[in-house]
Chain A
């Protein structure tokens, strides 16, 4: 008689807290259910409270992995980007979130891991290591990475300089990058305020870009960052 094959998961000996800190995450039914429910409520809330409108949703690639880049004015950016992704793909959308902020305490880790499905991104010491993690993630078909290339929230409303990470991630790779711009975030939820205010939000999604043809060097990385920064800025000027 043939023996059965069992496939116990690699994280079987970990406590619940360790599960939360793990990345990539093992799929859990309960967490998927909670995340889907919260995503649904979030969409309703953004639509009613912030009158969120999303322009250019048709620009999102139907298949394959891709990256969404956006300006970063408030925590609402992430939530609006997640709301632009079709609900059935919500568990495959990973906003890159600063480890030193979003994974600093247990409650924050729980929210980041369960509700937001955040990818822990170390923006201080191990930048290269975190980028490798992103690259690995995008190798799997159908994953969506959400990145804020400015690296932190702006307080002035001016679009900051794009860090080189996004360029290093896509240069010479067959990966689509979709530039986005969220308008209204700064007024709706300024940095440091506890709760958002009922201000209008508009998310503009631009056409996907690829940089497969470029050679891997510093100049190309710089050019990509510059190009994406301009495209994001341009989308912002649509809002009149």
Chain B
């Protein structure tokens, strides 16, 4: 992944066309609704958020492997920060600091080569790092000679690191593969399409609730509709991974469709338990970072292992 490679990558250029086209279409659609006299203020805020986020994400991937890994690590760190602030873990600067360092270490390990096996990315340590980090988190109360409230702090720090740091960072590790543009751009695109589909179908079809105690707006019909869309998308974007067989396309569709919605539900019950509406307010019209990347957290590691199992990471 380099700037030069991006400019000569058909996959990258195709995604530029597709994403640019969809954004333009959405803009036109909103303009038409506006002319028809519909209230578009809410949609417009969300749309403006997309107009800021999309160029940043595409730009970072365009800049290459280093920028992608740094970018994913930064999002993981700020995502964890939102979690830490929402749960109150942030008041403990020791725990928060250790998790920050650990997520930064995940970034470093994604970037450097395995000293014995070579190759971009240190896969072995990437997979083993949670052992050491969890050990460090568990040892912190001993070092500080504290007991009161420590189980909660330790548990929150471990969830924060493993879920928001490590699982999400699998996305950055995909930058090490030879088909990085295809995997990364497809994954980000498909997950967002799945989000939008789940939202739209949920609005269109009422009926049975999916999980009424967690997210009262989601319906079973909406969820199935989104899975249907996500099962179709890999076939339409087959050019992203021409070496995939039909079975892999079906698996990918299922992972995006089901995993995406599960990630959403996880953040939903976390928020509901804490008693807040959004994890933050960084992105206008989209809530916090975690409200935007929640669907990716389950999808990234499972897709990563599908790729690795069937095709290898090289």
Contacts of A6 in B (CB 8 A): 86-88, 273-275
Cβ contact within 8 Å between A9 and B90: yes
Does chain B have a CB within 8 A of A58?
Answer: no
Interface size of A in residues (CB-CB distance below 8 Å): 13
Instruction: Say yes or no: A13-B88 contact (C-beta < 8 A), given A8-B274, A8-B275, A29-B93.
Output: no
Does chain A have a CB within 8 A of B4?
Answer: no
Chain A interface SS verdict (over half): loop
Cβ contact within 8 Å between B282 and A29: no
Measured CA separation A71–B275 after assembly (Å): 49
Closest to A14 in B: B281
Query: Which B residues from 55 to 112 make CB contacts under 8 A with A?
Result: 85-88, 90-91, 93, 96-97, 100
Instruction: Say yes or no: A13-B85 contact (C-beta < 8 A), given A4-B152, A29-B96.
Output: no
Does chain A have a CB within 8 A of B119?
Answer: no
Closest to B284 in A: A15
Cβ contact within 8 Å between A7 and B91: yes
Question: Which bracket fits the contact residues of B?
Answer: 20 to 34
Cβ contact within 8 Å between A12 and B88: no
Cβ contact within 8 Å between B282 and A16: yes
Closest to B274 in A: A6
Cβ contact within 8 Å between B277 and A13: yes
Contacts of A5 in B (CB 8 A): 88
Instruction: Say yes or no: A29-B97 contact (C-beta < 8 A), given A7-B91, A15-B282.
Output: yes
Cβ contact within 8 Å between B85 and A9: yes
Measured CA separation A12–B86 after assembly (Å): 7
Measured CA separation A6–B274 after assembly (Å): 6
Measured CA separation A18–B275 after assembly (Å): 22
Contacts of A18 in B (CB 8 A): 281
Residue-wise interface mask of B (259-283) relative to A, using a CB-CB cutoff of 8 A (1 in contact, 0 not):
0000000000000011111111110
The 6 closest A-B pairs by CB, nearest first: A7-B88, A6-B274, A15-B281, A8-B86, A13-B281, A6-B87
Contacts from B to A (Cβ < 8 Å): 85-88, 90-91, 93, 96-97, 100, 152, 273-282, 284
5 A–B pairs (Cβ distance < 8 Å), ordered by A: A4-B152, A8-B88, A9-B90, A12-B279, A13-B280
